[in-house]
């Protein structure tokens, strides 16, 4: 079933401004799919039959069982501004988690009569860390499309139609972000439809809280609403206007129609006060606040044994990459707080091969210890410490605790050390503050092993240290995919025709590779081939005229 959300401009009276409204043709689309797709018709019957006999997921498990849902965001853009920043995407993930846990600020506005049934769920939405093929990912897929906008015919879900193919719907929640025709805000597919089209579609004007998100749909509630449909919720009024509509949830009051805008007083319908603040109604984003206990139970039943989305519980989408990628690359997002300080060698955090780990030292005299293994003869070790805001140093020890070498640089600039022709065995890395230095910010530690001998000499300064932040003009650019194996796309929007210079640096500032492109004014999509660049974490710096761009780049082979 496809649930469509539209923006309609309605002029009420000369005394009112034209106001954008949500609208939906859920019922007719549902009926259409029931008529045209026998598999869907059967699946819907089975799902609803299962719901009637199934105890809630919380009853089957425990009230604290967390349901983690790996999310992949497919960003389809024809114009650069629709490529979305990572921050905008993360803002939407944050909204989803707050809304589904009843931690949003609007909870305080829920009327007293509905407070007893307001409920949080055990869902946690997390950007995927692993693709279906086992390769590392940040859960974001950006793709240029020749289509200016899409309709609700699912073209955005197929690469051959200008879209992006879905990831395995039994393992991931697929969310497509793209411009939609007719001011369409978004739509979702209810459980039971085809796997190739399973997921949620959202217009960038209604996604997240930053960037392209526009009032009154700039609080991320379109995604909350649509994901609710993906989790088997109907509209609160049951998609009928005669008070006979049924959303199949006991604790939502009957309602004859959707609620629009921001009600200034309590609306009523069918002899009851309307639950207008429910996420499955149609108020503006700022007016939405809650799911009910019954809605949460209905959603969570999908994940019970035998439920339509039960397979997501065992998804590998949130595991570290395994197979070749797992042994060669690990992005370890360790919790970064003082309580987790591993201040003794015996409690060192375990790393594998090439790893990116995070830590924090916010107490004077404390350290962070890490451990990794070298299983190959004549391997070379290279370790970098970056994202520093204090004078931290690194030291390398063998399995017996003998100091082998330490970093030589000082201050809060990136640190690096090498140990070539290393013996087979375990090694320890200690991160510590020089003369007791501390910081409340996280540091990033990367370890690399290679047959090629490493060098730590700095060939070039990454950015002129005399430049003040206000003097630097930002180049409108994007690098994707990231992580990537052998090449990446560099999209840039230029004010005028000119040369684009791109350089890749290691974490201590040594230039690894450079590229020069002659580009036209407007949108340009450039291909960056990595060549012999080894797996690791780098900085990509681009410049055109006086505009600059810098971004972390992960090469994963």
- 315-351 pLDDT, tens digit per residue, is 999 886 543 322 233 334 444 554 455 778 888 888 7
In angstroms, rounded to a whole number, what is the distance separating the alpha carbons of residues 188 and 197?
A: 9
Share of the chain above pLDDT 90, in %: 42
At 262 the pLDDT is: 95
At 327 the pLDDT is: 27
Higher pLDDT, 421 or 98: 98
At 56 the pLDDT is: 57
In a domain, 208, yes or no: yes
In a domain, 43, yes or no: yes
In angstroms, rounded to a whole number, what is the distance separating the alpha carbons of residues 171 and 128?
A: 10
In a domain, 528, yes or no: yes
At 4 the pLDDT is: 47
In a domain, 269, yes or no: no
Q: Which domain holds residue 482?
A: 469-555
Point out the domain boundary residue: 415, 450, 485: 450
At 529 the pLDDT is: 86
Domain match, 426 and 525 both: no
The whole-model pTM stands at 0.60
Of 502, 512, 499, nearest to 538 (Cα)?
512
Of 302, 288, 234, 301, nearest to 118 (Cα)?
288
Domain match, 53 and 167 both: yes
Residue 98 pLDDT greater than 60, yes or no = yes
Domain match, 31 and 173 both: yes
In angstroms, rounded to a whole number, what is the distance separating the alpha carbons of residues 299 and 230?
A: 9
Instruction: Tell me whether residue 335 is one of the annotated catalytic residues.
Output: no
The answer to whether residues 204 and 148 touch, using CB atoms and an 8 Å cutoff, is no
Q: Is 536 helix (H, G, I), strand (E, B) or coil?
A: strand
Instruction: Give the strands of the sheet with 536-544, arranged side by side.
Output: 473-474, 547-555, 536-544, 498-505, 511-519
At 469 the pLDDT is: 35
In a domain, 516, yes or no: yes
* Inter-helix orientation angle 86-100/221-230, to 10°: 60
The answer to whether residues 66 and 124 touch, using CB atoms and an 8 Å cutoff, is yes
Domain match, 150 and 21 both: yes
Domain match, 302 and 391 both: no
Which is the catalytic residue, given 141, 226, 371, 415?
226
Domain match, 308 and 340 both: no
In angstroms, rounded to a whole number, what is the distance separating the alpha carbons of residues 362 and 249?
A: 49
Calculate the CA dihedral of residues 272, 277, 283, 284 and round it to 10 degrees.
160
The answer to whether residues 453 and 380 touch, using CB atoms and an 8 Å cutoff, is yes
Domain match, 403 and 347 both: yes
Domain match, 309 and 343 both: no
At 489 the pLDDT is: 84
At 336 the pLDDT is: 58
| CB neighbourhood size of 444 (10 A) | 18
* 285 — pLDDT class (breaks 50, 70, 90): very high
The answer to whether residues 99 and 279 touch, using CB atoms and an 8 Å cutoff, is yes
In a domain, 266, yes or no: no
Mean pLDDT, the chain, rounded, equals 82
State the average pLDDT over residues 210-230. 95
DSSP tag of 33: H
Domain match, 121 and 6 both: yes
At 465 the pLDDT is: 33
At 436 the pLDDT is: 84
> For the chain, what is the domain count?
3
């Amino acid at each position: 079933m496809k649930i469509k959300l539209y923006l309609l401009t309605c002029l009420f009276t000369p005394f009112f401004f034209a106001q954008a409204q949500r609208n939906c043709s859920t019922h007719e689309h549902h009926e259409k799919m029931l008529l045209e797709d026998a598999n869907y018709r059967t699946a819907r019957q089975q799902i609803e039959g299962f719901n009637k006999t199934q105890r809630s997921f919380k009853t089957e498990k425990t009230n604290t069982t967390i349901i983690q849902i790996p999310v992949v965001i497919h960003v389809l853009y024809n114009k650069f501004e629709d490529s979305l920043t990572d921050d905008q995407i993360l803002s939407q993930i944050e909204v989803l988690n707050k809304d589904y846990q009843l931690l949003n600020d609007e909870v305080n506005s829920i009327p007293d009569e509905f407070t007893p049934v307001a409920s949080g769920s055990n869902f946690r939405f997390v950007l995927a860390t692993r693709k279906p093929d086992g390769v590392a990912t940040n859960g974001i897929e950006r793709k240029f499309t020749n289509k200016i906008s899409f309709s609700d015919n699912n073209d955005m879900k197929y690469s051959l139609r200008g879209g992006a193919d879905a990831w395995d719907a039994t393992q991931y929640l697929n969310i497509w972000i793209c411009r939609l025709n007719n001011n369409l805000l978004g739509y979702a597919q209810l459980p039971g439809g085809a796997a190739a089209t399973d997921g949620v579609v959202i217009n960038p004007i209604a996604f997240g809280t930053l960037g392209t998100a526009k009032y009154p749909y700039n609080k991320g509630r379109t995604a909350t609403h649509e994901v609710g449909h993906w989790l088997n919720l109907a509209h609160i009024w049951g998609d009928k206007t005669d008070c006979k509509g049924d959303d199949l949830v006991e604790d939502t009051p009957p309602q004859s129609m959707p609620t629009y805008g921001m009600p200034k007083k309590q609306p009523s319908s069918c002899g009851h006060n309307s639950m207008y603040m429910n996420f499955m109604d149609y108020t503006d984003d700022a007016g939405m606040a809650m799911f009910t206990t019954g809605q949460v139970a209905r959603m969570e039943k999908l994940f019970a044994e035998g439920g339509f989305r039960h397979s997501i519980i065992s998804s590998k989408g949130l595991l570290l990459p395994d197979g070749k990628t797992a042994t060669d690359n690990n992005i370890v997002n360790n919790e970064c707080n003082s309580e987790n300080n591993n201040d003794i060698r015996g409690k060192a955090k375990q790393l594998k091969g090439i790893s990116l780990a995070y830590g924090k030292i916010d107490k004077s005299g404390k350290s962070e210890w890490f451990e990794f293994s070298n299983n190959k003869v004549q391997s070379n070790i290279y370790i970098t410490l970056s994202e520093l805001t204090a004078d931290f140093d690194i030291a390398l020890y063998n399995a017996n605790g003998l100091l082998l070498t330490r970093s030589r640089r000082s201050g809060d600039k990136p640190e690096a050390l090498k140990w070539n022709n290393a013996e087979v065995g375990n090694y320890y890395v200690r991160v510590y503050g020089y003369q007791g230095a501390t910081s409340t910010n996280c540091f990033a530690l990367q370890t690399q092993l290679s047959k090629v001998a490493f060098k730590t000499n700095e060939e070039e300064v990454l950015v002129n240290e005399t430049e003040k932040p206000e003097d630097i003009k930002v180049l409108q650019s994007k690098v994707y995919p990231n992580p990537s194996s052998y090449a990446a796309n560099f999209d840039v929007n230029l004010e005028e025709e000119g040369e684009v210079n791109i350089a890749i640096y290691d974490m201590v500032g040594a230039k690894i590779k450079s590229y020069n492109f002659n580009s036209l004014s407007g949108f340009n999509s450039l291909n960056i081939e990595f060549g012999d660049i080894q797996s690791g974490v780098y900085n990509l710096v681009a410049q055109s005229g006086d505009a600059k761009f810098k971004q972390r780049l992960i090469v994963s082979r």
